[in-house]
Amino acid sequence: MAEHERWWRETQDARYVAESAGEDVGVLRITRLDETTCEVHLAVAPQFRGEGYSTEMLREGTLEAKRLGYERIVARVDSDNTPSLRAFLRAGYGVTSPGTLLLERTL
């Protein structure tokens, strides 16, 4: 997560840190693409993967994007990243491109 910390200092994206029992579980970032569309970025620490945090973080991130006034949210997932792909599909996203998959949903 060190690369994320460096990047945060240089961006104006909205950033949310998920915690459990005082430990950082993961980070969700919302990037403005235009007035109606944002992109969500999700990173969960390896020791917390597979425990449902991605699902909850995406749920909260979707609510926050809606609160911020966005109408559409997109995400990019490498096609071989099956756990992330499943999390986004469960959260209501649909695949809109091959390769590095572009997923999106209406808010």
- Per-residue model confidence (pLDDT) at position 4: 60
Which of left, alpha, beta for 102 (phi over 0: left; psi -120 to 50: alpha)? Answer: beta
State the pLDDT confidence band at 3, using cuts at 50, 70 and 90: low
Q: What is the DSSP letter of 34?
A: S
Q: Which residue has the higher pLDDT, 3 or 94?
A: 94
Q: What is the largest CA-CA distance in the chain?
A: 38
Return d(Cα 13, Cα 39) in angstroms, integer.
10
Q: What is the DSSP string of 38-85?
A: EEEEEEE-GGGTTSSHHHHHHHHHHHHHHHTT-SEEEEEEETT-HHHH
- Per-residue model confidence (pLDDT) at position 33: 93
pTM of the predicted structure, to 2 decimals: 0.80
**The residue type at 41:** H
Q: How far is CA 76 from CA 19, 37, 47, 89, in A?
A: 24, 14, 22, 12
- Helix, coil or strand: residue 89: helix
State the pLDDT confidence band at 7, using cuts at 50, 70 and 90: low
State the pLDDT confidence band at 105, using cuts at 50, 70 and 90: confident
Looking at residues 11-26, what average pLDDT do you find? Answer: 87
- Per-residue model confidence (pLDDT) at position 14: 82
**What are 37-95's pLDDT values in tens digits?**
999 999 999 999 999 899 999 999 999 999 999 999 999 998 888 999 999 999 999 88
